[in-house]
Amino acid sequence: MNAGIWGMGRYIPDQVITNFDLEKRMDTSDEWIRTRTGIEERRIAGDEVGTVHMAAKAAQKAIEHAGIHPEEIDLIITATVTPDHSFPSVSCEIQHEIGAVNAAAMDISAACAGFMYGIITGKQFIETGAYKHVLVIGAEKLSNLIDWEDRNTAVLFGDGAGAAVLGPVSEGRGILSFELGADGRGGKHLYEDKYVKMNGREVFKFAVRQMGESSISVIEKAGLQKEDVDFLMPHQANIRIMESARERLGLPPEKMSVTVNQFGNTSSASIPLTMVEELENGRVKDDDVIVMVGFGGGLTWGAIAMRWGR
């Protein structure tokens, strides 16, 4: 039994903060942010909107897109580093909010690679036949962890949520291969101590190496060639990191999905937010080969190669 994506949805907060808004708050410039990161603006959730709210909205859309009812969800996995509370889990709160009364629920902490960890975990339950529908969500309110005095990090992050319903799909479609990894030695380069703390250059070097290597690894494990890839959907942290992965695969610019300009780095939400953008634009067709790849604090990483469609 192959696991694939039946439906997806996202939630984007209304409030837009542009680079020009940040120029007024700190010693930075639109020029610096755009050329060093590719970010033009980001969304920030207001005080009344928490991670659970964003995640539940994204989940409802994904369930609708999948054409099932909330009671049919067997398991909810939410990847987040910004839960509203340490417990109950975000997933339990979502279960209540959306009426997924038959679902088990748990959260995953793998920072920006969290959505990849969630998808790959959910896939196992479907492929063993244990569960039929697994809801995987990446949701973050990173604005809660931003030190507005630290220009090294404050300009990078944004809020949002994306969700996918996984289910069994026909042979040859769905998730074809995966890779997951972690290297705790690099934890000191990106961590939370009330606020996000980061050694940007070290994370940059790690990300460039890992994004390229993991993408190639999942392509090979799936028995595919680089030329077979229709979409590279990388974690949206920095356009320069993303471009290096694209060049490593020898793909033309139109085959890489980019939303970092609109949303900044939304951690575990960035890959599903980007995938929904492509679906809404009608760019993804059945049987397209998609490579998703993420990296983040931990350090963690994860990638999948998939063939779209049920």
Span interacting with ligand UT7, options 3-11, 200-208, 212-220, 280-288, rule CB under 6 A: 200-208
- Is residue 92 part of the annotated active site? The answer reads no
Choice between 113 and 134, CB closer to ligand UT7? 113
Answer yes or no: are the C-beta atoms of 275 and 234 closer than 8 Å: no
Say which residues have a Cβ less than 8 Å from residue 241's Cβ, sequence separation at least 6.
Answer: 204, 207, 208, 211, 234
Q: At 96, list the tokens.
A: 């209540």
Span interacting with ligand UT7, options 25-33, 43-51, 83-91, 141-149, rule CB under 6 A: 25-33
Neighbours of 201 (CB within 10 A): 9
- Look at the block and give the residue holding tokens 């290297």: 183
Answer yes or no: are the C-beta atoms of 229 and 184 closer than 8 Å: no
DSSP 3-state of 285: coil
- Cβ-proximal residue to ligand UT7, closest one: 200
Footprint (CB under 6 A) of ligand UT7, residues 113-132: none
Q: ∠47-49-53 over CA atoms, to 5°?
A: 160
Footprint (CB under 6 A) of ligand UT7, residues 207-266: 207, 237-238, 265
**Min CB(127)–ligand UT7 separation in Å:** 29
Task: Give the residue, chosen from 16, 30, 32, 228, that forms a contact with ligand UT7 under the rule CB under 6 A.
Answer: 32
| DSSP secondary structure letter of residue 52 | H
Task: Give the residue, chosen from 203, 232, 249, 271, that forms a contact with ligand UT7 under the rule CB under 6 A.
Answer: 203
Candidate list 53, 112, 133, 238, residue with the active-site label: 112
Considering the rule CB under 6 A, would residue 112 count as an interface residue with ligand UT7? yes
Choice between 123 and 235, CB closer to ligand UT7? 235
Amino acid letter, 187: G
Q: Which of 127, 174, 222 is nearest to 4 (CA)?
A: 174
Q: How many residues does the chain have?
A: 310
Candidate list 2, 133, 235, 238, residue with the active-site label: 235
Choice between 226 and 240, CB closer to ligand UT7? 240
- Is residue 235 part of the annotated active site? The answer reads yes
- Is residue 265 part of the annotated active site? The answer reads yes
Footprint (CB under 6 A) of ligand UT7, residues 48-87: none
DSSP 3-state of 36: helix
Answer yes or no: are the C-beta atoms of 22 and 264 closer than 8 Å: no
Q: Which are the catalytic amino acids?
A: 112, 235, 265
Q: Which residues bind ligand UT7 (CB under 6 A)?
A: 28, 32-33, 36-37, 112, 151-152, 155, 198, 200-201, 203-204, 207, 237-238, 265, 296
